[in-house]
Each structure stands twice: as structure tokens, then as C-alpha cells.
Structure 1
Amino acid sequence: CWTTSWGVSTRMVGAIIMAHGDDQGLVLPPRLAPTQVVVVPIYRKDDERSAVMEAIEKIEAMLGSDVRLKVDDRDEYSPGWKFNEWELKGVPLRIEIGPRDIAKDQVVVARRDVPGRDGKSFVPLAGLADAVSEMLNDIQNSLLARATEFRDANISEPSDYDSFREVVTQGFARAWWCGDVACEDKVKDDTRATTRCIPSDQPGGSGACIVCGKPAEEITIFARAY
């Protein structure tokens, strides 16, 4: 057993914010989100409030303990204000329900990962539990796919050191490295980039170090640290 202190926890938080966040705030993967679903009641009169809150109790019972749910029943804030706050906090799903929705036995569900009207849909109350479960899974998979696609699109595989120096300032560079500290120091001096990781899925065989040309047995990811 080894004791280490790499600052992993704070770095992971920063990575999540940078990988998934947008101009509106956080976008949290459902499996990590403290609150997965927020329910915002919409009403104007006291009698409407009673009916809406009664419907929300049924929604809570439908979703059960499998979903981390919060009901934002604060009267001092408007629904629009609440929408903005929960978008800022990155809650994956928002359920909106008002008198008109109750009359139609439906709710409005808004996905945090799909901005604007495109992320909204009407969901019948009878199928809400299944729809929420399906949407949370879809958001989780969608965020992973989006982040993976962005990462892969920003990985270059330069064939020589001149092209390496150019591309490593713009993203990740994937190249053979002999493991010599002197080569890493040269990369750092020339580009301000360093080794980021040595992937576990190595291609096998050997190649020529991108810096010195000597035999190398491992592909390494280089990039700048910020």
C-alpha cells in the first residue's frame, strides 16, 4: 500500500467542468450529479399551487429512491429564475409542471446537455419513470461520446520533431518516446509541453523517439499543462 498526494480530487472536479461545461454553467454527468432531477412547479394562484404540489408528490412516488430528485418549491423566486439557477448548477434533467400540464396528464422535461427548445419534450405522466431513466442513461452516454470525440479530434500523430513542435501547442501529440529525461526536457524547453501519460493500450513493437530518433518502446501523450 502506497500513500500518494497527487491532488486527484480537485483535478477531477476541474476536468469535469472543462470537459462538459458550457456558457450557461455546469453540465454534470447523471452518475456524478448530486441532484439528477429537479422539479419546478409552475402556478399563479393558491389553488393552482395545491394541485401542482399534489401532482409533484405523485411524481416523487413514481420516480422513487432510484433517482436523486429535488423539488424547488421556493415561492420567492420565479420559475424562470429557478430554470437559470439549476442550469448553472448542471442538474441533468428538469421537470416543469403546471395546471395545463396536469390537465393533459403530462410534464415538460428539459435536458441540460441539449440547450434551448431542442432539449425540451412533453412526457406523459404514465410513462415518466421509464422516460427519466432512459434520458439519464442517454445523457450519460452522450456526454461521454461528445467528450471522447472532442479529445480524439485534438490528438495529432506527428511524424517528425518539427511537426511535433507545431501541433503540440494546439492540443495533444501522440508520439514515440525513448523515456530519456533529456528528451522530455528538450520538449519542455522548445514547446512548454511535457509528457501527460503513457497509454495502457500500446500498439506493440517499437518505433523511433520523436525527439532524438533512438529506439522507443512506448507511445506517449504530450501536451501543455495549464
Structure 2
Amino acid sequence: MKPAYGFCLMAVFSVASPATSFLHNVKKSNAGAQNITKILNRLDKTYYILRGTYSSDESPMIRYSYYRFRCGKITISEGLSPTNFTALVSFENPRSTADVTAKYLLRAFSSKGMWPTRNFMAVYKYYPAPREHIFVDLMFLLLSDYETCALFGRQPSEECEIWYYGKPNKTWSPVGKTVCDDFRPMCANKKIGTVSQQKMGIVSRPEVRI
């Protein structure tokens, strides 16, 4: 029997109450200890996006109809200011042996009256000047121990995803349970559904920039 968690697996959740944003289910007492810049300011750090509430065909960030968001990872590449960072998001290209990599701008900010710390980031598809960056999504940090994982929520899609600090070893290698794997307290209107999977090893792959 294969382990419950593995590299290139994306857990799919269904929305139990679409009319109720899971933002209202977050405990503010927990949010006070969270600061998204502690994750973004680790330059050259790669996080592995192994679990989430969306299918590999419907990533809120990667919106290319002919790509599936599998084996996703995000590397913080540059700090432009204390609140602005660039990141490279890579994922599997089913039509090639090369991974697909896209560059993004991440802008961290706080929301008065909702969170006491800088807990949000606006995500933009990055383009060199003079072309303007394109807004993609709003993300917010729900929970992180800053050692093993970070649990993020998204708006307006109302999805969740986990960034893992450690790199999986091989295909079907179990991902050690972390505090972020307990979805229910933070994403109360989501429930575990099916698992989409594809057997892949951890290999060195060339990249194609988009």
C-alpha cells in the first residue's frame, strides 16, 4: 500500500460551503504569531508545493490550460525591498523533459483590523520594464512553524496549499507529517476528497522559462 503523502501528489478538497469564506474561520489568536516575510526573505530557499485544495489542473497561480501543476516548487530569488521579492515557480511539463519555470513578484503587506502582522502577499506575474506586472492572486499565511511547512490561503479562489521546507527523496517517498497537515482548523469549509497522482522520481531536469 502506498503512503498517504508523496512527492507530486496534490490532495483535492471540495468546498462544503461556497458562500462562506474560510477567512472567517481562521483563529486570529494564531494569526498574531505569523509573519509572511519570515518565509519570503529567505533568499535562494526552495519550497515544495506538495498538497493543496485544488487539482493539478486548476492551480490558482499557474493559469496555462495545457500545463498541469505537478511537482511544484517555488524558489525565492531576489529581495527588491523589505516587502517585495521575486520568485521562480517551477512545475512539470508533460510535453517535455524540461520543467516549466515562471517568474513572479511577491508583495507582502498587512491588513489593519484583520491581522496584527504582515501576513498577506499580492502575487504578480513578473515582466521586465516597461511592461507592467500582471496581478494573479492574493495569498495569506495561515500557519507556519518556519522549519517544516507553511500553510497558505488564497483569495478570491478560496483555496489552500502547503509549502514544505524539505525536498522529497524519491517517488512515493512519504512526506513527514507536519503541523500544516492538519487542514481542518484553518480551512474549515474544506474537506478531503480524492487524490490526483503521478509516479515521478526526483531528477535533475532542464527548465523552460515562460
TM-score, normalized by the shorter chain, greater than 0.5: no
Which protein has greater RCO, CA pairs closer than 8 Å, 6+ apart?
2
TM-score, structure 2 as length reference: 0.23
Q: State the structure with more CA Rg.
A: 1
TM-score, structure 1 as length reference: 0.22
Structure that is richer in helix per residue: 1
